[in-house]
Amino acid sequence: MNKMLQPTTGALLLAIVLTGCGRQKTSITMAGSTAFQPFAEKLAEQYMIGHPDISITVQGGGSAVGIQSALSGAAQIGMADLVQLPPEAKDLTAVPVARDGIAVVVNPANTVAGLTMAQIRGIFNGTIRNWKDIGGADAPITVVSREAGSGTRTSFEQIVGGIALSKDALIQDSNGTIRETVANDANAVGYLSHGLLNEKIKALQADGRDCTTEAIMAGTYTLVRPIYLLVKGTGSEQITAFIDYVLSPEGQQTIKSNGLIPVK
């Protein structure tokens, strides 16, 4: 076998390599809200099926990370679930793509069915420390909260108002870990995205209202925040096309069918 490539063969191989390079995928990174992360992953998965030239990576980290990543360029799209965006986000284009209820959750073994906003405030401040004080069993309350920088925590504290989080609170870094902590502690109480409720935990009424899609859409359940996709400047054609897909009937139906509230 001749081990020397003929010039024409080498040129052909170079052309193939160059052609392959021309077919490289456009990469988009999304980062931020852990509450929206699983929904963003689903939307990205669906979008890439019809757009094989696009590769979308979805990362969490919390809303503060989403804002900073979009500002720095570490992510092309930030995700934030905040009632009020912070001043630094003014340099970003914020597109609301969904709404989300924040459910106050306990272990299914807990007999308490609902709390007033004043009771919720007292529990997370640490001034109400035993379930018997609010109609439950004689047992200490385990408060579970998100970390600083979490959009869910920021929105929860802004809506409830007057919360200076108890120093005894267990801090978790995602909605998922809050769900698991509450599911494994009969005396725990936490809060998470309404879209992530399942049979392992129980959502409490807040001021007599259930955290349901219907109540959120009707405006009768008050623990609700918007979810934004954040882009620096106007974004590229590919980024705009993906956000348009999220806002399309198909994208909004995916959001609705997976537990969030569409904006369209």
Percent of the chain whose pLDDT exceeds 90: 84
Q: Residue 260 has what DSSP assignment?
A: P
Pick 162 or 6 by higher pLDDT.
162
Mean pLDDT of the chain: 91
The reported pLDDT for the residue numbered 161 is 95
Q: Which of 8-12, 83-87, 257-261 bottoms out in mean pLDDT, i.e. has the lowest?
A: 8-12
Buried/exposed 119-128: b ≥16 CB within 10 Å, e otherwise: bbbbbbbbeb
Asked whether residue 17 carries a pLDDT value surpassing 50, the answer given is no
pLDDT digits (tens, 9 = 90+) for 92-143: 999 999 999 999 999 999 999 999 999 999 999 999 999 999 999 999 999 9
154 burial type by CB count under 10 A (0-12 exposed, 13-18 middle, 19+ buried): buried
Give the pTM: 0.81
The reported pLDDT for the residue numbered 24 is 80
Can you tell me the distance from the alpha carbon of 207 to that of 222, in angstroms, rounded to the nearest whole number? Answer: 9
**Chain position carrying tokens 């640490």:** 126
pLDDT digits (tens, 9 = 90+) for 178-216: 999 999 999 999 999 998 899 999 999 999 999 998 999
Mean pLDDT over residues 238-243, rounded?
97
Can you tell me the distance from the alpha carbon of 186 to that of 73, in angstroms, rounded to the nearest whole number? Answer: 43
Asked whether residue 14 carries a pLDDT value surpassing 60, the answer given is no
Q: And the tokens for 224?
A: 């609700």
Write down the CATH superfamily of domain 25-99+227-262. Answer: Periplasmic binding protein-like II (3.40.190.10)
The reported pLDDT for the residue numbered 258 is 86
8 A C-beta contact, residue 163 and residue 143: no
The reported pLDDT for the residue numbered 23 is 60
Q: Considering the chain, tell me which residue range(s) the CATH 3.40.190.10 domain(s) occupy.
A: 25-99+227-262, 101-218
Mean pLDDT over residues 66-75, rounded?
97
pLDDT digits (tens, 9 = 90+) for 43-52: 999 999 999 9
Mean pLDDT over residues 73-89, rounded?
96
Asked whether residue 2 carries a pLDDT value surpassing 60, the answer given is no
Does domain 101-218 fall under CATH 3.40.190.10? My reply is yes
